[in-house]
Structure 1
């Protein structure tokens, strides 16, 4: 949805921070019970056709979010600066940030704010949809290219898991070039790349980016994106909902402010050192995907889609899906406190699993089977 005079607002972010190119489906009932939704997905319905219910997290869980934010805001700010510097040095003033809704949106805003803080450049930032197995929103891309002729698009996400979205992005960009004759850079800029899926990252450490703890209440009250033929026409952007009813629980702006406030404390020498280290870092290898396939075989899981590696993805499994087991490299790691709490709440077994590069990994339950 493009904000115009007279239109109702979409999302709780400031208009100068991000423009959502999404069709407003706020009045459409798309949510379903977690178990029922999981059955439909495992029965063949695409996950993007429906949405999980969203709610205000309980107080003790919010407490974990605030604690982790206090603990890691400096690290998130530093890693954001590391990747934003690389983007700006590669693409300059002509950069247009295009974050992948919705986990990429707060990160895109933070990158935009960092570039504004450091270089006094107010670069455009859009948030658009990409969906696994269905590709990127080409209508949204064409809108951006028409609005900013000759721009350097930089795609942004929060973190990488096993690399499914990186692979989808590369495929989408190839399809886009074939269809429209426009070649785009398919690199994906992320704060954390534990899956070794990109060369444009802030760190490869699998640490907790606090926004992974919450859903819409830390993402501008915007839902996951939707691609359902019943509501999305050929010329429409992909859809999403704005959960205005959760406004009193919204912490999106506070999250951004707390992290952005750390930009002034970044040590320039350490920043340059980190960028230099990244240039020498191991090449993109998708080694996380290799580990995922090994886990899939070891635990007799029928598809890699049911294996969700990394702190962020494991958190999502516990919040949105029907979890089976959680593999944990080190249960004493500070990055997994919220995961241990959620797993106990949902009665999910935690298995120590020291021999993986990820901090943890969520395994989705095959619905209907007793395991």
Structure 2
């Protein structure tokens, strides 16, 4: 009888930081991804399986949804939405850009943009393009991970703060929902400042294009309008997945992880989205000074009205966990793309912004219920899958 020598299990591929110019589809000068490249690791789980795992206690950051592949009709809706909103988006980018630059200038710096991967990253790229177009400056832009319930990637944050003054750093996201990420960021920055007194000037306020939740004073609008990048996943966000934090993959001293979906390059519209909005910058500069002055003079203090509204909606629908209530166009879209939706509440007067939501809901057999006095354009309710 031949004895077989025991062999150790095959080692997983060595995991390395994302390589500039090879990770993601944005030009390397537009963003530095401070992420560990997990492209070779199988992390996706089916929608029902993933939902049951999340509601059963597995953290959402330990796995990825399967990337939604839109059909031609849905892509037509995306293209129409971009055409319809490009001017408004450009105006919001310009307004937020001027607010951000004024804040940094008050401390004697140009801004250093730190976008929250991945939904914040297209906005970070757009702000960088705005600063170049309007002021002739190329500002640094980093994309880092923050995860609800687990905090910000402190390895990535240290990387940024080793190279730039804390007072110059501005965190960037696309929009707010009920404000969970702003709360997470505030707590993370408070912990960091307590541990690093030299970084007391680090500001926890998010800069966003739309703040329907009333969570920050650095916003382009508080209207819950469609930001077309919310319609798609990686193919409008540099071909990068959501961020991942799993102990068997991300060890001490490593950035949080993400995947680069190079195989989806044929459907990538990330740079086309940025180019379409940036092309509208000249059209929004005429009244910009007046808009900035009016915005600056207005009462922009956070109200947190969105969080209160979500608590009311959860109570009205017998939902014990507010994390199963996703308010706003962007968050509702995410529910339909990668969770198990129960129903969508929608304001009938916002139908023009919700065509893609209605299409996604129809495709998944999800009822859309009209609620005229809804404080958001729409709200996605996730189906409880566990008693």
The interval holding the TM-score normalised by the smaller chain is over 0.9
User: In the aligned structure 2, how far is the partner of 1:177 from the partner of 1:120?
Assistant: 32
Aligned residues: 366
Quote the offset at 1:279 in angstroms.
Answer: 3.2
Task: Name stretches of at least 5 consecutive residues in structure 2 with no aligned partner.
Answer: 1-16
User: Equivalent residue for 2:320?
Assistant: 302
Superposition RMSD in Å: 1.4
Counterpart pick for 2:246 among 198, 210, 228: 228
Q: Aligned pair 1:128/2:147, yes or no? A: no
Counterpart pick for 2:102 among 86, 89, 92: 89
Q: Aligned pair 1:240/2:253, yes or no? A: no
Q: In structure 2, do the counterparts of structure 1 residues 320 and 236 end up closer, same or farther at CA, with 3 Å as the change threshold?
A: same
**C-alpha distance after superposition, 1:256-299 (max 9, x if no partner):** 00000000111432552254135313521110100100000000
Alignment partner of 2:343: what SS?
strand
Counterpart pick for 2:124 among 103, 108, 112: 108
Quote the offset at 1:101 in angstroms.
Answer: 0.3
Question: Do the aligned partners of 2:95 and 2:291 also contact (CA within 8 Å) in 1?
Answer: no
TM-score normalised according to structure 2 size: 0.92
Counterpart pick for 2:85 among 72, 83, 100: 72
Q: How does 1:350-365 map to 2 (within 5 A)?
A: 350-365=368-383
Question: Do the aligned partners of 2:56 and 2:386 also contact (CA within 8 Å) in 1?
Answer: no
Q: Aligned pair 1:311/2:329, yes or no? A: yes
Question: Do the aligned partners of 2:349 and 2:372 also contact (CA within 8 Å) in 1?
Answer: no
Alignment partner of 1:94: what SS?
coil
Rg comparison, structure with higher value: 2
Q: Aligned pair 1:117/2:133, yes or no? A: yes
Quote the offset at 1:350 in angstroms.
Answer: 1.1
User: Equivalent residue for 1:18?
Assistant: 31
User: In the aligned structure 2, how far is the partner of 1:102 from the partner of 1:55?
Assistant: 15
User: In the aligned structure 2, how far is the partner of 1:220 from the partner of 1:275?
Assistant: 34
Alignment partner of 2:348: what SS?
coil
Q: In structure 2, do the counterparts of structure 1 residues 119 and 74 end up closer, same or farther at CA, with 3 Å as the change threshold?
A: same
User: In the aligned structure 1, how far is the partner of 2:166 from the partner of 2:184?
Assistant: 24
Q: Aligned pair 1:153/2:153, yes or no? A: no
Question: Do the aligned partners of 2:174 and 2:209 also contact (CA within 8 Å) in 1?
Answer: yes
Quote the offset at 1:56 in angstroms.
Answer: 2.8
Alignment partner of 1:268: what SS?
coil
Counterpart pick for 1:207 among 213, 216, 225: 225
User: In the aligned structure 1, how far is the partner of 2:77 from the partner of 2:293?
Assistant: 31
Question: Do the aligned partners of 2:98 and 2:292 also contact (CA within 8 Å) in 1?
Answer: no
**C-alpha distance after superposition, 1:285-322 (max 9, x if no partner):** 11010010000000000100000000000000000100
Task: Name stretches of at least 5 consecutive residues in structure 1 with no aligned partner.
Answer: none
User: In the aligned structure 2, how far is the partner of 1:301 from the partner of 1:169?
Assistant: 25
Question: Do the aligned partners of 1:96 and 1:151 also contact (CA within 8 Å) in 2?
Answer: no
Any runs of at least 4 consecutive aligned residues in structure 1 with deviations exceeding 6 A, and if so which?
Answer: none
Q: How does 1:136-285 map to 2 (within 5 A)?
A: 136-149=152-165, 152-181=168-197, 182-183=199-200, 184-285=202-303
TM-score normalised according to structure 1 size: 0.96
Counterpart pick for 1:63 among 63, 70, 76: 76
User: In the aligned structure 2, how far is the partner of 1:229 from the partner of 1:310?
Assistant: 32
